[in-house]
Structure formats: structure tokens, C-alpha cells
């Protein structure tokens, strides 16, 4: 039972088992899920950010359990890291832009954040690549996506500074 729950957690309820581009599908599902949380169910971004921190901490343990007996220490089916990495820029965007927002603006920014995250996650610029190559454990699996998410935040901050 515990192994099945762990499997569902690290594969984001089986999304990681999709044969083609599971990371991109998990990132897209995360983006859509967060849009619904923030703009349909009106969940406060502070609460979601706390939940993401908890998910990050639980993931460190859960991923280690999942990869313990595997040769590949970063298998494609683990996509909880995409959930965490994609959530970071979206949550911080929502925290920075409290109040009423035009849906078109929100969708545009969510799309940009999704694309940028996928670019950074796939191309793995430093330090994303550092974590990916040097830590063959849950920390490396998760931190490369956290760094990719922080790169997206950096790009958006620069955009907002230069556009205002």
C-alpha cells in the first residue's frame, strides 16, 4: 500500500508512465492545475507555496525510496520534480500580482512560464546541469527542476524591471 502511494506521488498519479514526453505533460498538467486552484477555486498563493515546500520535503524522501534499487537514478517516470519546478514561478507570479488580473494576461504569463521552464529543464544550463550530473539521488533529481523554475523567475523579474 505504501509503495503504491509512493509510486502515485513520484509519478504524479501515473503521468510519469506516459511513454512520450512525460516531463512536459506533467509540467502542463501542473500549469493547468495551478490555474484552476488560483483562478477558479481562489486558493491563496501563500497556502499553495507552503504546500509546495511540504511536497518538496516529502519528495526528497519519496524519490530516494523509489530509486533505491534502480540503476537509473533519474528515471523519466519521476515527474514530481516537474510539478515542484513548474510551481515555483507560477506561485511567485501569483504572490507578486495579487488582486484582479485579466484572464488573457494570466494565460499569457502561464504559457510563457510553461515554455521557459521546459526550455531550462531540457537544455539544463548551469547550475541545472550541475545538480543533474553530480547528485545521483533525490536531491539531484529535484534540485535541477527547482533551479529551472528559479531561472524562469529570474527572466520574469528582468522582464518586469525592464518593461516598467
Q: Percent of the chain at pLDDT above 70? A: 100
Q: Which contiguous run of DSSP H or E holds residue 72?
A: none
| Residue-level pLDDT at 164 | 80
| Residue-level pLDDT at 70 | 86
Own/partner pairs, 118-124, CB within 8 angstroms, 24+ separation:
118/23, 118/24, 118/27, 120/147, 120/148, 120/149, 120/151, 120/152, 121/23, 121/27, 121/82, 121/85, 121/145, 121/148, 124/148
Q: Where are the domains of the chain?
A: 2-163
Q: Give the mean pLDDT of 96-110.
A: 91
Q: Give the mean pLDDT of 102-131.
A: 95
| Residue-level pLDDT at 119 | 98
CB 91 within 8 A of CB 49: yes
Query: What gap in Å lies between CA 27 and CA 118, rounded to an integer?
Result: 8
**Where do we find the cell 510553461?**
114
Torsional sign, CA 40, 91, 54, 146: positive
pLDDT band at 106 (very low <50, low <70, confident <90, very high): very high
Rg (CA), the chain: 16
pLDDT band at 95 (very low <50, low <70, confident <90, very high): very high
Query: What gap in Å lies between CA 35 and CA 47, rounded to an integer?
Result: 14
Query: What gap in Å lies between CA 35 and CA 82, rounded to an integer?
Result: 16
| Residue-level pLDDT at 144 | 95
| 119-136 burial code (b ≥16 CB/10 A, e <16) | ebbeebeeebeebbeebe
* pLDDT score of 99 more than 80: no
Distance of CA 158 to the CA centre of its chain: 21
* Averaged pLDDT of the chain: 95
The model's pLDDT over 134-158, given as tens digits with 9 standing for 90+, comes to 998 999 999 999 999 999 999 999 9
* pLDDT score of 62 more than 80: yes
pLDDT band at 132 (very low <50, low <70, confident <90, very high): confident
Amino acid at each position: 500500500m505504501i509503495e503504491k502511494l509512493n509510486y502515485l506521488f513520484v509519478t504524479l498519479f501515473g503521468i510519469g508512465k506516459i511513454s512520450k514526453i512525460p516531463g512536459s505533460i506533467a509540467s502542463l498538467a501542473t500549469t493547468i492545475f495551478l490555474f484552476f486552484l488560483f483562478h477558479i477555486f481562489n486558493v491563496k498563493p501563500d497556502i499553495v507555496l507552503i504546500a509546495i515546500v511540504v511536497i518538496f520535503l516529502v519528495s526528497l524522501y519519496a524519490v530516494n525510496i523509489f530509486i533505491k534499487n534502480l540503476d537509473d537514478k533519474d528515471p523519466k517516470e519521476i515527474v514530481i520534480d516537474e510539478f515542484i519546478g513548474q510551481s515555483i514561478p507560477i506561485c511567485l507570479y501569483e504572490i507578486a500580482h495579487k488582486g484582479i488580473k485579466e484572464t488573457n494576461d494570466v494565460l499569457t504569463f502561464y504559457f510563457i512560464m510553461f515554455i521557459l521552464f521546459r526550455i531550462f529543464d531540457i537544455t539544463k544550463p548551469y547550475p541545472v546541469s550541475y545538480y543533474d550530473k553530480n547528485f545521483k539521488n533525490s536531491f539531484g533529481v529535484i534540485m535541477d527542476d527547482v533551479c529551472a523554475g528559479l531561472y524562469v523567475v529570474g527572466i520574469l523579474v528582468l522582464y518586469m524591471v525592464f518593461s516598467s
